[in-house]
A = this chain, B = another copy of it.
Amino acid sequence: MTELNPHFSHLACTFCGAQYPKDHLINLCPHDQRPVQAVYDTTGIQATQWYHPERKDLWRFAGLLPMASGFTSHGEGYTPLLDHSSHALAKKHGFQLFIKDEGKGHKDFGQNPTLSFKDRGMAVVINMAKHFGVAKLAVPTQGNAGDSLAFYANEMGIGAVVIMPDDTPAPIQGNVAALAFHNPDIKLEMIKGTIKEAGLLMKEKYLPQGYFNVATFQEPGWRIEGKKTMGLELAEPNRLSEQWALPNVILYPTGGGTGILGMWKAFDELEAMGMIDSQRPKIIAVQSAATPPVKNAIDKDLFEPEPTPAGETLAVGLNVAGGVGHFKVVDIVRQSGGTSIAISEADIAKHLSEIWQDKHWWVCPEGAACLAALKPLIDMNMIKPKDQVVVFNTGSFEKYLPEVRHLL
């Protein structure tokens, strides 16, 4: 029997702070149409066995998640942190470089079942949906989130519709189509356009049929909670340090930016529980030069990023023209002393190719964009000697075949 975490206190809007009961199935804050997130009684949690380091999945942090017991795991999370300090720039400038590899399993770690970080959010989504008896979920997606939702929905016997652009990489299309083919409760809609057009179709066609909207930030904070575990895994002992500790710089490929909100929330909660101090890593929102709304907002010092037209990029996960959480991403980047960098297609391709030749690591185009950002960040003095720098590789390049094969 699933059970909500007794220390999960309530939902609160990320902007106006309006509070809602934790069993209130809302989407955006009804007051201001901003995302909501879960709020915990961290003092209460501190006194519990909230941390389960013996588990090899993200549920090792169950006490700090909305569902502390009775959940179903598919092995998601607890991904390896690969030491890449042999990288030429790291050696030259004397910093430590790590890749948090969301695309790959390892015998001593967990494995995201659909080979991307989207599984973290969707694992929480599907357990919460099951708990609340939600029968049908809808998601507009650039690809990986749809692959993930279809997987979990199929596993857990919940209905789902995935709406994605018809230029989504073949393995992702294929995975969802295969589930849709076998399971009449899983639907796939391919559309011309980007995630924006997918979102419009969801609203016009599926929400009126009773599908519950689990687009990024449009569910009750579930996906933030899942993504939060990336921050917890960086912070926990025996990763970057023997103690609970944070790196100096985090490079995060930013489409919608849920991971940035999630990790920042993780750090705040750890601080509230006395595990870490108030020092925070610089957060670097890495974008594609094809679609850089967050970068533009940082450059122009805007509070509310302006949607840019979607471009064309191999890093499809970065092709998010306007996100309802972008205001918060920009806010966190600023608070952290970080910045946003936009990477060209040529540089994405070059770095995907280089790390492949160098290490045989299955880095996706979005992860490659982060590696490409190292040089400009050094030039801007954002990365300093002795820093611990973490680059997020959000998925396996396997999911982008055959588009990336010529780069290998």
Does A181 belong to the interface (CB within 8 Å)? yes
Q: Pick from A197-205, A268-276, A296-304, A398-406 the stretch touching chain B.
A: A398-406
Determine the distance from Cα of A190 to Cα of B178 in the docked complex, in whole angstroms.
11
Among A360-390, those with CB < 8 Å from B are 360, 362
Does A171 belong to the interface (CB within 8 Å)? yes
Smallest distance from the beta carbon of A399 to chain B beta carbons, Å?
10
Determine the distance from Cα of A398 to Cα of B178 in the docked complex, in whole angstroms.
17
Q: Are A190 and B182 in contact (CB under 8 A)?
A: yes
- The residues of B that contact A178 with a CB separation of less than 8 Å are 170, 173-174, 177-178
Q: In the complex, what residue of chain B is closest to A107 when comparing beta carbons?
A: B406
Determine the distance from Cα of A261 to Cα of B398 in the docked complex, in whole angstroms.
35
Does A408 belong to the interface (CB within 8 Å)? yes
- The residues of B that contact A182 with a CB separation of less than 8 Å are 177, 190
Smallest distance from the beta carbon of A202 to chain B beta carbons, Å?
18
- The residues of B that contact A175 with a CB separation of less than 8 Å are 170, 174
Does A188 belong to the interface (CB within 8 Å)? yes
Q: In the complex, what residue of chain B is closest to A357 when comparing beta carbons?
A: B360
Smallest distance from the beta carbon of A164 to chain B beta carbons, Å?
12
Mask of A162-189 contacts with B, CB within 8 angstroms, 1/0: 0000000011011101101110000010
Smallest distance from the beta carbon of A175 to chain B beta carbons, Å?
5
Q: Are A177 and B181 in contact (CB under 8 A)?
A: yes
- The residues of B that contact A398 with a CB separation of less than 8 Å are 401-402, 405
- Pick from B173, B180, B360: contact of A408, CB under 8 Å: B360
Determine the distance from Cα of A173 to Cα of B175 in the docked complex, in whole angstroms.
8
Smallest distance from the beta carbon of A161 to chain B beta carbons, Å?
13
Determine the distance from Cα of A402 to Cα of B402 in the docked complex, in whole angstroms.
14
Determine the distance from Cα of A77 to Cα of B190 in the docked complex, in whole angstroms.
31
Q: In the complex, what residue of chain B is closest to A187 when comparing beta carbons?
A: B181
- The residues of B that contact A190 with a CB separation of less than 8 Å are 182
Smallest distance from the beta carbon of A306 to chain B beta carbons, Å?
36
Determine the distance from Cα of A404 to Cα of B170 in the docked complex, in whole angstroms.
19
Smallest distance from the beta carbon of A188 to chain B beta carbons, Å?
6
Q: In the complex, what residue of chain B is closest to A399 when comparing beta carbons?
A: B401
Q: Which of A170, A175, A181, A398 has the most CB of B within 10 A?
A: A181
Smallest distance from the beta carbon of A61 to chain B beta carbons, Å?
26
- The residues of B that contact A115 with a CB separation of less than 8 Å are 402
- The residues of B that contact A181 with a CB separation of less than 8 Å are 177, 180-181, 188
Q: In the complex, what residue of chain B is closest to A398 when comparing beta carbons?
A: B401
Smallest distance from the beta carbon of A144 to chain B beta carbons, Å?
14
Mask of A138-179 contacts with B, CB within 8 angstroms, 1/0: 000000000000000000000000000000001101110110
- The residues of B that contact A405 with a CB separation of less than 8 Å are 362, 398
Mask of A301-343 contacts with B, CB within 8 angstroms, 1/0: 0000000000000000000000000000000000000000000
Determine the distance from Cα of A380 to Cα of B341 in the docked complex, in whole angstroms.
61
Q: In the complex, what residue of chain B is closest to A174 when comparing beta carbons?
A: B174
- The residues of B that contact A401 with a CB separation of less than 8 Å are 171, 398, 401
- The residues of B that contact A360 with a CB separation of less than 8 Å are 408
- The residues of B that contact A173 with a CB separation of less than 8 Å are 174, 178
- The residues of B that contact A171 with a CB separation of less than 8 Å are 171, 174, 401
A-B contact pairs, 24 of them (CB 8 A): A170-B174, A170-B175, A170-B178, A171-B171, A171-B174, A171-B401, A173-B174, A173-B178, A174-B174, A174-B175, A174-B177, A174-B178, A177-B177, A177-B180, A177-B181, A178-B178, A180-B181, A181-B188, A182-B190, A360-B408, A362-B405, A398-B401, A398-B402, A401-B401
Q: A-B pairs with the 4 shortest C-beta distances? A: A174-B174, A177-B178, A177-B181, A174-B178
Q: A173-B178, A174-B174 are in contact. List 5 more A-B contacts (CB 8 A).
A: A115-B402, A170-B175, A171-B174, A174-B177, A177-B181
